[in-house]
Amino acid sequence: MSLVDIHNLHFAWQGRQELLSIDAFSVLTGEKVFLHGPSGTGKSTLLALLAGVLLPSQGTIVVGGQDITQMSAAKRDAWRADQLGFVFQQFNLLPWLSVMDNVLLPLRFSRARRERLQTGSKAEAGRLLRDLRLPASLWQQPAANLSIGQQQRVAVARALLGRPPLLIADEPTSALDADTQQAFLDLLFNECAQHGSAVLFVSHDMRLSHSFDRVVALASINHAVHDNRLEDLV
């Protein structure tokens, strides 16, 4: 059964040539999909469209049976909080909050995430942080005090907390060493297998692709013609 269904999707930044033109793309419930392609071809933009952060100029994006292109901005925000875990390239941690409070942050905005937890929220957050090899001695430290690699682990724990049906990850292992990359993938796949969550994972690191159910080159589904010299296309 499909969790994500995209049909006749078109997107262009204002005043620019078309960046995305996708006839059809889907992700099955529980499927692990590795998406790759050169910089400037629209991978991060596609993720932002799937998350409802951007809206297409044409087409439908159905996630969990709901067409997010037909939602109001407020409804998209509520839907995103309940249904998506998102690991951004820039992490988007609040630097003045502690590690633990950053991980717990999504629960403030989503009753559905709180209800999906079978243990206490702090216990679950601690388990995720331990599995990602972040020492307990750092959990009460402000996020600003962490290294880049440590911040990325916090962002991953935050995305997984509350067991969202879909996890979208944009270069999530870029700041991790090889051992921690594998620990991250092991945790990610274990969590998703337990709860039937799907993963859409964008990375330039093709060494990781063998771990996924399906590998998709964006160029194989995107019919737009790009000028990759445009620096603001992502």
- Please compute Rg for the chain using Cα positions: 17
Tell me whether residue 230 is in a domain: no
Q: Which two tokens stand for residue 121?
A: 């929220």
Answer whether residue 83 is part of any domain: yes
Domain containing 113 equals 2-221
Top-confidence residue, 17 or 88: 17
- Would residue 116 count as lying in a domain? yes
Are 168 and 200 in contact by the 8 Å Cβ rule? The answer is yes
Asked if residue 206 is part of any domain, the answer here is: yes
Total domains, the chain? 1
Give tens-digit pLDDT for 142-192: 999 998 888 888 988 898 888 889 999 988 887 777 777 877 788 788 878
- On whether residue 227 sits in a domain, the answer given is no
By C-alpha distance, which of 116, 139, 141 is closest to 126? 139
| Burial (Cβ within 10 Å: 0-12, 13-18, ≥19) of residue 182 | middle
Residue 232, C-beta contacts closer than 8 angstroms, at least 6 positions apart = 13
CB 217 within 8 A of CB 36: yes
What is the domain-level CATH number for residue 124?
A: 3.40.50.300
What global pTM score does this model have? 0.84
Residue 172's pLDDT is 82
What digits encode the pLDDT tens for the residues 193-208? 877 889 999 988 888 8
> Is 202 domain-assigned?
yes
Residues of the chain with pLDDT > 90, as a percent, come to 49
Across the range 67-83, mean pLDDT stands at 92
| CA-closest candidate to residue 173, choices 162, 159, 161, 193 | 159
Domain assignment of residue 177, yes or no: yes
- Does residue 97 form part of some domain? yes
Contact 169, 87 (CB under 8 A): yes
Residue whose token pair is 């243990």: 119
pLDDT at 72: 94
Tell me: the pLDDT tens digits for 29-57?
Answer: 999 999 998 888 899 899 999 999 999 99
How high is the pLDDT of residue 118? 65
